[in-house]
Amino acid sequence: MKDMKERMAFLEQHGADPTLASAVLSAPAFLSDLTEGELTFVRSKVEQRALSPEVVEAKVAVAKALREVEVGWERARAKIASRGGSEKRPTGAVSAAA
């Protein structure tokens, strides 16, 4: 399915089906032609069907907290680097400025 709206409607309707989810999630990306966002959507549909609502809610809360920690860590690294005369390498490592 090339039309994104049509594809998302199909995934919304059938994404929690174990056979479809297994096929889509285990196939190489070039075969399914789904984006990472669409694959994440299918994973979440399967989780919502297979897991209790409490577990799904806890998983969402942990993912949100992890994103907040990562953002905070990046801000702290930038502030430390700017105050300490350090510079960020392309790899993400911080080293003393020359």
Concatenate the DSSP letters of all residues of 44-87 into one string. HHHHHHHS-HHHHHHHHHHHHHHHHHHHHHHHHHHHHHHHHTEE
Cα 29 to chain centroid distance, Å, stands at: 15
DSSP state of 3: -
Residue 41 sits at the vertex; the CA angle it makes with 36 and 47, to the nearest 5 degrees, is 125
> What residue ranges do the domains of the chain occupy?
1-50, 52-98
Q: What is the pLDDT along the chain (98 residues), one digit of tens a residue?
A: 677 788 788 888 887 888 888 888 888 878 878 888 888 888 888 888 888 989 989 988 999 999 999 999 999 999 988 887 656 666 666 666 55
Can you give the pLDDT at residue 93?
65
Tokens matching residue 45: 């549909």
